Amino acid sequence: MQRHFNIFVPLACPHCRTELLLTLDQVHEEKSICCALCGTTIVLRPEDLPVPAHQTPEPSEFLPA
């Protein structure tokens, strides 16, 4: 039996900026969610997810000590 692990994604309501917590399954199925604070309906699309910021190493990390 294969286990299914889901990943939680934080997202802010575009109207009131309330933090919402959704799953990747909800995004891939393009479900809609409703903000509990202001009632705004948000349709989830993979292209609307924020891209995680990649940290670039400092130049000093490349230099030998």
pLDDT tens profile 27-63: 888 889 999 999 999 988 877 666 665 555 566 655 5
pLDDT at position 17: 92
Give residue 64's pLDDT band: very low, low, confident or very high (50, 70, 90). Answer: low
pTM: 0.58
pLDDT at position 34: 92
Domains of the chain, by residue range, sit at 1-45
Q: What are phi and psi of 63, to 5 degrees?
A: -85, 135
pLDDT at position 45: 83
Contacts of 20 (CB under 8 A, 6+ apart): 10, 11, 12, 13, 33, 35, 42
Distances (CA, A) of 3 to 6, 28: 10, 18
pLDDT at position 24: 84
pLDDT at position 19: 92
